[in-house]
Structure 1
Amino acid sequence: MNKHVRLALSAAIAACLMPGLALAQNDQAQTTAPPAKSRAKAQQPSAANAKSLEQVVVTGNTATGGLKKIDTSYTVTTATAEQIRMANPKSTADLLKIAPGLWPESTGGQTGANIEIAGFPGGGDAPFNTVQMMGSPLYGMPTLSFFEQTSIFRLDDTVDRVEIIQGGPSVVFADGQIGASENFILKQGTEVPSGSVGVTYGSEDLKRFDTFVGFPVAKDWYGSVGGFYRTSRGVRDPQFAADKGGQLTGTLTHDSDNGTLTLYARYLNDRNQFITPIPLIQSGTDQFSAYPGFDPLTDTYYGKAIQHVFLRGYPGGGHDANLGNGRGAKVAFFGGNFDYDLGNGWNLSDKFLLDGGDVNTNALFSGTNPGSLNDMLYTNQSQIGAFNLTPGSATATYVGGGAVDPNQSVIHQGWWFIHKHLKNINNDFRLSKEIFEGNTLTAGVYLAHYTMDDKWALGNQMLMTNTPNARPITVTYVDPSGLNYLTDNQGFLDYGGYNIAQHGVANNRAFYLSDVWRAGKWLIDLSGRVENQNAYNDVCNLTNQNLDGNPNTKYDNSVPVCNGTFAHTRYDKTHPSWTFGVNYELADNMSVYIRANKGAHFDDFDNGIRGNTTGNTAPMQKIQNFEGGFKYQSQQWFLDISAYHRQFIGLLYQPTDAAGVPNGPQRTYGSDSKGVNINTAWSPIENLKFQLVGNYLDGHYSHNSSCLPYTNPVAGNGCALIDGVQLQRQPKLRYMFTPSYKIPFSWGDVLAFVTYTHVGPHTQDISGLQQLGSYHTWDFGVVANVQQNWQIRLQGTNMTNELGLTESNSRIFGSAAGTTGVILARPLEGREVNLQVKYMF
């Protein structure tokens, strides 16, 4: 961390010693802070104003002070702090549902979401999504195994607004993300002290406290501080706190006639339940119902009986693990944004961010399907992972005592622990010059240095009851060799199948040029970027060992442990990206645009680099994108509609066996997608509004006509023809429709709204063999503003207790339903209602 600290302090000191400070342009986004003389008491912007095409957007462009929304030739969605609260997001990732074409799978809990972007063939984690704070990416790679960037960012009252862009110019700026980037811009200090204090109680025993205050520090200096703390049992109650922790954020801003400097710091310490798939019954191809004894809306396998364990296979001799720590984050951030007007058409901008900490995972991961204890012990059914023991030879006992009924439904699941320590520092510097009236050229340099230190204990199959709040089971059996222990005294059938230690270091260097030319009603931009990613990853080699030397303790006879040697992989790639856009303003309230861009996706430490040798890493995924759009705003209507054609090449398929170990040659394929995104609102009369956010996607896989082999212990092995198959996990049609009505009173007003969400047919993986069906939900909200200082908010999600699926068992390729129709899947959480009372000053 010493190297990171030195770099960050150098950047901060250099900024502070500049002779003046300035309000300037932003690359991938930065706060457009008001000058000192206009820093009045903060006011909450209205939803109507937030939709105006006059709103300034700073993300994805190089214009000094940003661009008006009507001038942006790309898809951009914005939300004020109030609109963020109206969306009632379950997590940071869940907020992305407000952007057409983005679909976060938030059924896994507060963190670790899969984020799908229409036309981008992801299928897991978030490889095509970047989170920015004040315009700086949170980490050098958008995703790693057991990590995506929303996992280290929490929403609270310190967030002023968010800007979400897709494709287009993002391939050139910041980290060159080819997919989507959301930029969270923090609230800053005000000339008149202002802020808020709020308390929230939720039906899942949620208790939350939020606060924010902005204030003057000295002449032209302003500060702010805020954060939250909360605890919750969760809709799926694990018998301990599902979510517990908080966040603290502070900013310090200085304004002058020529510029602005903002320094900010944030500390996050939060732990969250990572929700595991539960059993359901599948009928036909896409009809699902409750499994006997399991409420699909509220139940979870997690419970006190399996909360605390000791994992003997963890690198270094074992480690205690706690489900209560979930998929948490303990991360510190320090960053700064500096803008300066040099005069004579020159502008300078610099942004840096330093962050680091632990992002650990303590969670269950699904394996094979459940079955009765008798079948589990004495048959060889692969779909339930049965043991095929001699009939009558075994004794099964609950941990803590008591015989297990032979008819008891049981299952074995992986109790995984992943320690992930991340460090990151990045800096984005740019210099702009107005070449002639209306034409500005910008040159920029983006540098990032980041590391990863991991220790994994994957596998650790625990035999447990197939019930809510499961109980672990121990098994012994007798054969000619004597008494054998199938499990240890915690119920573990093994001590891991992948117990690795790994260390990764990477540096990204990018240079970009952007020219923006305004000629009358035309706005034309052309930008290019050349980026190099130089990374290496060391992973310990594994040797199977009998840990206790006793052949009769079956659970530890062949445990893969680090043997003191390492596999070293070097990854060094350079790739250019470009974007070209044209916007024409038909009228003051109407514009059309077209855009083309090409970009590439670099490999990350865990996906593409680890497991491959130097020079034989996965090919770069490349995209070409063409899009066009129309924007219109009147007193009654707002419309932002776009159409696109996206093509990918270089996607990689790796066949694996039932344990997830690669067992065949890698193959490449591509995708081809066409679609439409729409964001529109209609206010036929004052205070009444109808809003629609949605997208239609016609996307399929391409560039591979062969039959891809796969291993499936549930439905049987085979091969899949993927050419023409629908993109995995991406609905063809998704939309949210929200009517709202505001009722004014002498003492304030009341806003009431409902949101109907429809998610169309979607599939589990690239084979298309496991359908996940479609579903719809109803949410609601009532917000009362009382006088100038009080706000009361009542909001609820999934009020009709809809049973909808976002994914099935991700470790099963192809059909995941067994012969009995049992499937492990992640359904939506049931009804959730919360009430907040807030005092604002």
Structure 2
Amino acid sequence: MKKYSTARSLCVPFTFALAALPAAVVQAQEQTVLEEVIVTGVPAGGATKLEASVSVSSVGGDELIDFAPRSAAELFRALPGVRAESSGGGGNANLTVRGIPLATGGSKYMQIHEDGLPVLEYGDINFGNTDNWLRADWTIARIESIRGGSASTFASNSPGGIINMISKTGEEEGGSIGVSMGLDYDEFRTDFEYGGSLTDTIHYHVGGFFRDGEGVRDTGYNGENGGQLKANITKEFEDGYLRLYAKHLDDRVATYLPSPVLVEGGDSYGAVPGYDASSQTLQSQQTNNFTTFDQFGNPVRRSLADGIESKVSAFGFEFEKSLNDQLTVRNKFRQSDISGGFIAPFTDGFAGGTASIADKGAELCASASVAGVGLDCSGGVTALIDGQPADGDQLAYTNLLFDTKIHDLGLFVNDLSFSWENTSGLAISGGLYYSKQAIKTSWNSWQTRMQTLDGSNSRNITYLANGAGIDENGNAVDVVLADNGALTQSFLAWNWDLEYTTFAPYINVGFDVGERMRFDVSARHDEVEARGQRLDGCCGGNTPIDLNGDGSVGQFAVDGGVITRLDSDALLENPGATSAGFIAGGVRVLNSSNAATTNVNYDADNTSYSVGGTFLLTDASSVFARYSDGGRAIADRLTQVGGSLRPDGSLTSTTDGFDNVQQLEIGYKHVGENWSAFATFFNTITEETQAELTSGLTFVREYEANGIELEGDFNFSDSFVVRGNITWTDAEITDDATNAAVVGNTPRRQADFIYTLIPEYRNARLATGLVLQGSTDYYVQDNNDLKQEAYVLVNAFFNYDVTQDLTAYVNVNNLTDEFVITESEEGSAAVGSFIRARPLNGRSANIGITYRF
């Protein structure tokens, strides 16, 4: 009869990959499956899938092409229980799991790791979503995920779970090189990877990619450009190993923020006249370059083509050594330098729908004034595009540019651990975790522009009043919008300069009860030291302010919220004379001497724990149960939650600096001769302290979710297999400190069912199939009014071995071209009106060829 053992060699858990093999091969490897070891979110040394009292899944690196991914987040959608909203493009995705809320963006409760260490300590940093700083390529051996369970005690700030991207290390000699390109979109990409041995005890792996092109959606310029290089080298010892690794990412991708979408009725949505948000963008070559101001009032030239700019240089090492037959010590270290930027148009001004160019001009002229004197619009308004009269019937929209520079999101992290096990089944493991996360980000002035609503070539609009206004010098002024479309040059500017240091000791004790039962209990104590400040250029009120201290406000300050004159070239030639801000009608101040300062100077701590056990029913099946309580430090978004920090930066009584997640899980696992099944019931209670930049709302809430997560595969024959997963979730908002009306409602974007189904046919040379990823309907906001209807996304793949070493493939993402929104700024809307929403990508097809050697 099989006994438990946690000290095993690090095998590869290919649950999905094995399901893709012929049934005969699966049967031959059945015992191997039972012995395979998972390494994510479990005690040091790993545990087999049947032994572990957690829910864990894995996707093999060779399968990545089959999922037809256009971003890393689209790969994560295939993982059970994971809700991955990939509507932001190559980055800026929203991720959560098992009914845990997505009150705003990013991945707050589920951490993303590379090779066992976090990419960022906090997954919801403003404009710094974790997936901005990683890329999926052929260097990945597999992607593991653990949902709930001991993730809360074996990693900081991950009470919902962990997604771990594990790299190839070159144990097997060989590699591959390939090229791919879009069939119906502009992108060319080349990938390569190679691994092998230098000696009997030294092996290595190197790989990466480079791409160039417009991207999946039309931008009018090179929206995607850059690549990644990764390398590692491992020295094996008789009793351990030392591995050194490095990564350099320098990549730029377009990102898509909420933009105009038509409400068609029946919980369905579509393209507005002249603009399809699922395949087009409001970025364009004509609006690409502009002048703005940084957080200190200095003029800056910017380009929309920068999009999400991701620069990462990281190096680290892993070390493992057995000190004797029972005791093993391990250490993982990584230093990452992370910087870049985030720039994209955000649509504003949809009170009742988008107006025509003529209507927008009349509205602006009627509200504009210069030095308190209203403009005379009796003679009408002239709209100009490129200096020529515009078609007044064409639709126009107000563009609020999100323009952020990421100066430093660098992460220093070290995890020192040990494991000890005796022959009677008692195993003790633990360690000390240390990290230092920088958050140094500036939001340049929130420049507001008026543009045409045109998906192929959006252009700036300039309005002229046919009457006259008078400036502060008594001169006539006839320009309502200046700088070729600028409504105002200075609406908001923030600067975050923060640092979070985490120190966390942790321990796990596991023991056998007889030959078929194992229990474990683990705990982690996180201590967080938060230091820094946020400069907030908000809110200047209606009084002009002398920003540069020259004794005069100058010609660039107004009272009506509309800039009347601005010469960008003059600004750059003589920036000191500009005052660099326009203070009126709530326009923000862009100078540190006038800015409000939010200090951050506190220490916070939290103890997480997890208790679980597994009973082996047979050699091929088991049941488990687990209860966990894990914490997540709130980090930079706490500075936006009013009343949470005192003037000196210490915490008030309204928060302890952490949000907690409590989870109960009961599960069943089985691996048979031609089928496998994994089922988990979960109950999750989540605290949420959060702030949303676009709406200015804050959330101090509690949520509860119950659900069932199913994962499995069935081999119908040697060549046909079906695999997949489905998760049912019943979630509700159970408490809200500021808005009692939403209590009892379903959280935004939470569907009752989400699922992935993959039927696949394989023979000696061909592999083809479908990836069906679907969802039942869900509310797009917490008021539970506006819904997205149920949908199924169909991805198709076709791989053919031209020779033993050469494979050609075609994959199609969203084959049926479904129009699906993941989020909306509006929670209610009339049929026929426009909302601001982010849809998933429309249909896109990719072709490629791979040579293995």
- With the length of structure 2 as denominator, give the TM-score of the two structures: 0.86
Write the distance in 1 (CA, Å) between the matches of 2:699 and 2:112.
Answer: 30
Which of the numbers 461, 471, 482 marks the counterpart of 2:448? 461
Write the distance in 1 (CA, Å) between the matches of 2:380 and 2:84.
Answer: 45
In the other structure, the counterpart of 1:19 is none
Counterpart check, 1:32 vs 2:10 = yes
Which of the numbers 355, 358, 362 marks the counterpart of 1:378? 362
In the other structure, the counterpart of 2:620 is 589
Counterpart check, 1:401 vs 2:413 = no
In the other structure, the counterpart of 1:39 is none
Counterpart check, 1:739 vs 2:719 = no
Deviation string for 1:86-126 (max 9, x for gaps)?
22222112211111211111111000101132221123221
Unaligned regions of 5+ residues in structure 2, if any?
Answer: 1-5, 367-373, 471-475, 548-552, 564-580
Contact 1:687 1:741 in 2 (8 A): yes
CA, structure 1 residues 486+793, in 2 after alignment: closer, same or farther (shift >3 Å)? same
Give the C-alpha shift of residue 603 in structure 1: 0.9
Give the C-alpha shift of residue 479 in structure 1: 4.7
In the other structure, the counterpart of 1:413 is 399
In the other structure, the counterpart of 1:601 is 632
Kindly report which structure 2 residues correspond to 1:370-769, keeping only aligned pairs within 5 A, or say none.
Answer: 370-379=354-363, 391-392=377-378, 395-398=381-384, 400-420=386-406, 421-435=408-422, 437-468=424-455, 469-477=457-465, 478-481=467-470, 482-519=476-513, 520-542=515-537, 544=540, 545=545, 549-550=554-555, 554-555=562-563, 557-558=582-583, 559-564=588-593, 566-608=597-639, 612-613=645-646, 614-616=650-652, 618-619=655-656, 620-649=658-687, 651-652=688-689, 660-661=695-696, 668-704=700-736, 708=739, 721-744=741-764, 749-769=765-785
The letter for the 1-side match of 2:398 is H
Counterpart check, 1:365 vs 2:346 = yes
In the other structure, the counterpart of 2:852 is 840
Give the 3-state SS of the residue equivalent to 1:615 in structure 2.
coil
Contact 1:640 1:678 in 2 (8 A): yes
Write the distance in 1 (CA, Å) between the matches of 2:454 and 2:782.
Answer: 31
Give the 3-state SS of the residue equivalent to 1:70 in structure 2.
coil
Write the distance in 2 (CA, Å) between the matches of 1:793 and 1:487.
Answer: 51
Give the C-alpha shift of residue 301 in structure 1: 1.0
Write the distance in 2 (CA, Å) between the matches of 1:73 and 1:330.
Answer: 38
Give the 3-state SS of the residue equivalent to 2:518 in structure 1.
strand
Give the 3-state SS of the residue equivalent to 1:71 in structure 2.
coil
Give the C-alpha shift of residue 532 in structure 1: 0.7
Give the C-alpha shift of residue 667 in structure 1: 6.6
Give the 3-state SS of the residue equivalent to 1:550 in structure 2.
coil
Give the 3-state SS of the residue equivalent to 1:408 in structure 2.
coil
Contact 1:537 1:609 in 2 (8 A): no
Deviation string for 1:529-584 (max 9, x for gaps)?
11111112312243744676226763253152123364322231111000011111
Contact 1:118 1:730 in 2 (8 A): no
Q: Which moves more between the two structures, 788-797 or 563-572?
A: 563-572
Deviation string for 1:441-481 (max 9, x for gaps)?
11211000121211112521110001113100122334553
Deviation string for 1:388-418 (max 9, x for gaps)?
9765456444453111222221011111210
The letter for the 1-side match of 2:517 is W
Contact 1:315 1:455 in 2 (8 A): no
In the other structure, the counterpart of 1:711 is none
RMSD: 2.7
In the other structure, the counterpart of 2:124 is 143
Give the C-alpha shift of residue 654 in structure 1: 6.5
Q: Which moves more between the two structures, 49-58 or 726-735?
A: 49-58
The count of aligned residue pairs is 773
Write the distance in 2 (CA, Å) between the matches of 1:495 and 1:788.
Answer: 60
Write the distance in 1 (CA, Å) between the matches of 2:556 and 2:139.
Answer: 58
CA, structure 1 residues 786+587, in 2 after alignment: closer, same or farther (shift >3 Å)? farther
Counterpart check, 1:798 vs 2:826 = no
The letter for the 2-side match of 1:594 is A
The letter for the 2-side match of 1:492 is A
Write the distance in 1 (CA, Å) between the matches of 2:809 and 2:610.
Answer: 43
Write the distance in 2 (CA, Å) between the matches of 1:707 and 1:423.
Answer: 35
In the other structure, the counterpart of 1:222 is 203
Contact 2:149 2:161 in 1 (8 A): no
Give the C-alpha shift of residue 72 in structure 1: 1.6
Contact 1:546 1:557 in 2 (8 A): no
The letter for the 2-side match of 1:55 is E
Write the distance in 1 (CA, Å) between the matches of 2:118 and 2:505.
Answer: 16
Contact 1:463 1:491 in 2 (8 A): yes
CA, structure 1 residues 492+592, in 2 after alignment: closer, same or farther (shift >3 Å)? same
Write the distance in 2 (CA, Å) between the matches of 1:500 and 1:655.
Answer: 14
CA, structure 1 residues 550+653, in 2 after alignment: closer, same or farther (shift >3 Å)? same
Give the C-alpha shift of residue 63 in structure 1: 4.8
CA, structure 1 residues 292+525, in 2 after alignment: closer, same or farther (shift >3 Å)? same
CA, structure 1 residues 552+476, in 2 after alignment: closer, same or farther (shift >3 Å)? farther
Counterpart check, 1:822 vs 2:834 = yes
Q: Which moves more between the two structures, 120-129 or 148-157?
A: 120-129
Counterpart check, 1:83 vs 2:67 = no
Give the C-alpha shift of residue 724 in structure 1: 1.2
Give the C-alpha shift of residue 732 in structure 1: 1.3
Q: Which moves more between the two structures, 796-805 or 399-408?
A: 399-408
Write the distance in 1 (CA, Å) between the matches of 2:556 and 2:321.
Answer: 71
Give the C-alpha shift of residue 33 in structure 1: 7.9
The letter for the 2-side match of 1:456 is W
CA, structure 1 residues 45+568, in 2 after alignment: closer, same or farther (shift >3 Å)? same
The letter for the 2-side match of 1:493 is L
Deviation string for 1:127-167 (max 9, x for gaps)?
11211111011122222011111111101111111111111
The letter for the 1-side match of 2:153 is V
In the other structure, the counterpart of 2:194 is 213
Deviation string for 1:653-686 (max 9, x for gaps)?
7699xx8457xxx673211110111111111221
Write the distance in 2 (CA, Å) between the matches of 1:408 and 1:239.
Answer: 20
Which of the numbers 16, 20, 35 marks the counterpart of 1:47? 20
CA, structure 1 residues 191+779, in 2 after alignment: closer, same or farther (shift >3 Å)? closer
Higher relative contact order structure (alpha carbons within 8 Å, sequence separation ≥ 6): 2
Give the 3-state SS of the residue equivalent to 1:695 in structure 2.
strand
Give the C-alpha shift of residue 336 in structure 1: 1.1
Write the distance in 1 (CA, Å) between the matches of 2:295 and 2:53.
Answer: 51
CA, structure 1 residues 390+129, in 2 after alignment: closer, same or farther (shift >3 Å)? farther
In the other structure, the counterpart of 1:37 is none
Write the distance in 1 (CA, Å) between the matches of 2:275 and 2:62.
Answer: 37
Kindly report which structure 2 residues correspond to 1:93-492, keeping only aligned pairs within 5 A, or say none.
Answer: 93-123=73-103, 124-190=105-171, 192=173, 194-203=174-183, 204-284=185-265, 286-369=267-350, 370-379=354-363, 391-392=377-378, 395-398=381-384, 400-420=386-406, 421-435=408-422, 437-468=424-455, 469-477=457-465, 478-481=467-470, 482-492=476-486
- With the length of structure 1 as denominator, give the TM-score of the two structures: 0.87
Give the 3-state SS of the residue equivalent to 2:80 in structure 1.
coil
Contact 1:25 1:58 in 2 (8 A): no
Write the distance in 1 (CA, Å) between the matches of 2:738 and 2:170.
Answer: 60
Write the distance in 1 (CA, Å) between the matches of 2:655 and 2:296.
Answer: 27
The letter for the 2-side match of 1:578 is Y
CA, structure 1 residues 381+136, in 2 after alignment: closer, same or farther (shift >3 Å)? farther
Give the C-alpha shift of residue 528 in structure 1: 0.6
